[in-house]
Amino acid sequence: MRHASRGFTLIELLVVMAVIGLLLSIAAPRYVHQVDRSRDVVLRHNLDGLRQAIDQYHSDKDAYPKALQDLVDARYLRAVPTDPVTERTDTWIMVLPAGEPGPAWYDVHSGARGLGEDGTAYATW
């Protein structure tokens, strides 16, 4: 009398691996798309917060900040936000107002290269 072996055959393992591969090929692109989309959302949120802080600083002090650190020092921000695309805090692009003496931040844009989900350049946001 023969005893049944206790294990999987090579065919069974290959079928399971094929099913797992198929499921991953469906899920992986959606995951990558969601990560890219969430970076775009966080970038827009950070830019909105920076612009509000710059406007509040200008309203209170009647001058624009000379650096983002001025907003932190004056407690308009807790810390300089990270650009989620570049993953750095020093890539923000300064926009100078017309007629202001010296360097001052009127507006801010992302220093990231590339295009967002909507097809526009990050630097124009």
pLDDT in tens, 62-91: 989 999 999 999 999 999 999 999 999 999
Structural domains in the chain (count): 1
% the chain with pLDDT above 90: 63
In a domain, 24, yes or no: yes
In a domain, 2, yes or no: no
Asked if residue 42 has pLDDT above 70, the reply is yes
In angstroms, the CA 107 to CA 55 distance is: 9
In a domain, 20, yes or no: yes
Encoded amino acid at 30, one letter: R
Hey, how many other C-beta atoms are within 10 angstroms of the C-beta on 91?
16
Determine the average pLDDT of the residues in 15-44.
90
**Which residues form the domain of 90?**
12-115
What's the mean per-residue pLDDT of the chain?
A: 89
In a domain, 35, yes or no: yes
Name which of 49, 69, 70, 48 is nearest 60 in CA terms. Answer: 70
In a domain, 120, yes or no: no
In a domain, 65, yes or no: yes
Give the pLDDT of residue 33: 83
Q: Distances from the Cα of 12 to the Cαs of 8, 9, 28, 98, in angstroms?
A: 6, 5, 24, 71
Strands (E), the chain: 93-95, 107-109
| pTM of the predicted model as reported, rounded to 2 decimal places | 0.73
Asked if residue 121 has pLDDT above 80, the reply is yes
In a domain, 98, yes or no: yes
77 alpha carbon, distance to own chain's centre: 18
What the block records as the tokens of 34 is: 């969601």
Determine the straight-line distance between the first and last CA of the chain, rounded to whole angstroms: 76
Give the pLDDT of residue 29: 82
* Higher-confidence position of 75 and 117: 75
In a domain, 68, yes or no: yes
In angstroms, the CA 46 to CA 40 distance is: 10
